[in-house]
Structure 1
Amino acid sequence: MAQWLRRADLGVLAGRAMQSVIAVILVVGLWERSIAVVVNASLALAITFLPALLRRDWDVHLGTGLTLWMTLAVLLHTVGMLGFYVSVSWWDHVTHTLSATVVASVGYATARAVDEYSDAIYLPSRFLFVYILLFTMAFGVLWEVLEFSARFVTDLVGVEAVLIQFSVEDTIVDLIFDFVGAVLVALFGTPRLQSLVTSLTERLDRVSTG
């Protein structure tokens, strides 16, 4: 028990540290009047509080590992807005892969929870493998459309681009790394998501019983 508490405390400290870095980047963005940095840092900081809100309001526990992984993904994205997306060629690849693993994890856990909750639904492992890939890629395409739309609007009004979008070739590479992240979760990540699946299933049980 003491060892578990120490690990939990370390997880909380790591999460708080990453939140603090994002907050500092937000202040830097405000100081430099960078719309892109401010918008992305604000959204990233809000996302880091999502696990706590789910736990408090819905009694859904993402788990320390997934929470830290999600926080790391948005942190690296926020850092990238300081110029790393442009100056470091592989930065975009890392952030897309990490983000894709988070999306794939949430998509899998949700589908698996519905499968365990309902006797009328049966999702075989092969189907879930394909589902993880399709779900993640669909989200990736949606994100790329959002990037193009945001870039079009900011260029139209003559303000700083909120999201980084270089070219169609860049979009294809982004989707490739989204696919890599989805495959990693489908092959190796699903056993580690069982606690989240259980939490979501219990939530569905409580909702159905009132």
Structure 2
Amino acid sequence: MRSWHVERIASRFIQLVIGLIFVAGVYTRNLSVVVNALLALAATFLPAILRRDWQIRLHPFLGMWLTTAVLLHAIGMLGPYHYIHWWDHVTHTLSASVVAAVGYTAARAIEAHTDAVHFPRQFMFVYILLFTLAVGVFWEVLEFGARLAAEAAGTEAVLVQYGLDDTLVDLIFDSVGAVLVALFGTATLSDTIDSLTERLEQTRP
């Protein structure tokens, strides 16, 4: 069975599961489950949109990589985040690896597109780590802001934040995801980088 066909089947299955999670959130009137399921479901369509509308070549593994990350997050909102202590670590590592891949792909495509930018090979490791941590810090700020807004409005928080210790642990696992991409994931992204560079070339006057 071709890898593209496997990805399509896996994506449809993941979308079905997330759809069921959304229904569960509506049935239980759990706003955080509903909102996160909707966002996760929207994210599962991103690989197809990038391929169809932007002509970005994505390895089938990359599509499943993204959809698996959002699926685990959506499942976590049903309870695993509260009852399985390592669930948050897994989702942060996987999500951070997606962020790292995006940062690396964008940087390499821009570097290939213009002579004004050059990233030394030794610097890329540091760049991937710092980019991922910056996004991770932004996400933690969003979680903190969502909690404060929910407390002020007297409603349930859409994003869950457990305090400073939890934030520091989350950033550690964000770093793990970034390091994994820097060490092992860059080769998988080469074709995507080439197609993104081609897309940038089309924007030249």
* TM-score, length-scaled by structure 2: 0.97
1:199: Cα distance to partner?
1.2
Q: Show the 5 A alignment for 1:136-175.
A: 136-175=132-171
Contact 1:132 1:182 in 2 (8 A): yes
2:73 corresponds to which residue? 77
Amino acid of the residue matched to residue 89 of structure 1? H
4+ residue stretches of structure 1 with deviation over 4 A?
none
Equivalent residue in structure 1 for 2:29, among 12, 15, 33: 33
**Is 1:8 aligned with 2:7?**
no
Contact 1:136 1:182 in 2 (8 A): yes
**Is 1:103 aligned with 2:99?**
yes
SS in 2 for 1:23: helix
Amino acid of the residue matched to residue 188 of structure 1? F
Contact 2:22 2:33 in 1 (8 A): yes
Percent identical: 58
Q: Deviation string for 1:97-125 (max 9, x for gaps)? A: 00000000000000001111112322111
Structure-2 separation of matches of 1:42 and 1:11: 21
Contact 2:3 2:60 in 1 (8 A): no
Structure number with the higher helix fraction is: 1
Unaligned runs of 5+ in 1: none
Superposition RMSD on alpha carbons, in Å? 1.0
2:48 corresponds to which residue? 52
Amino acid of the residue matched to residue 57 of structure 1? D
SS in 2 for 1:78: helix
**Is 1:20 aligned with 2:16?**
yes
1:15: Cα distance to partner?
1.1
Equivalent residue in structure 1 for 2:118, among 109, 114, 122: 122
SS in 2 for 1:207: coil
SS in 2 for 1:11: helix
Amino acid of the residue matched to residue 117 of structure 2? I
SS in 1 for 2:39: helix
**Is 1:113 aligned with 2:109?**
yes
1:57: Cα distance to partner?
2.0
Unaligned runs of 5+ in 2: none
1:190 corresponds to which residue? 186
Structure-2 separation of matches of 1:112 and 1:194: 9
Q: Between Structure 1 and Structure 2, how many residues are aligned? A: 205
* TM-score, length-scaled by structure 1: 0.95
Structure-1 separation of matches of 2:116 and 2:30: 51
Equivalent residue in structure 2 for 1:87, among 71, 79, 83: 83
1:179 corresponds to which residue? 175
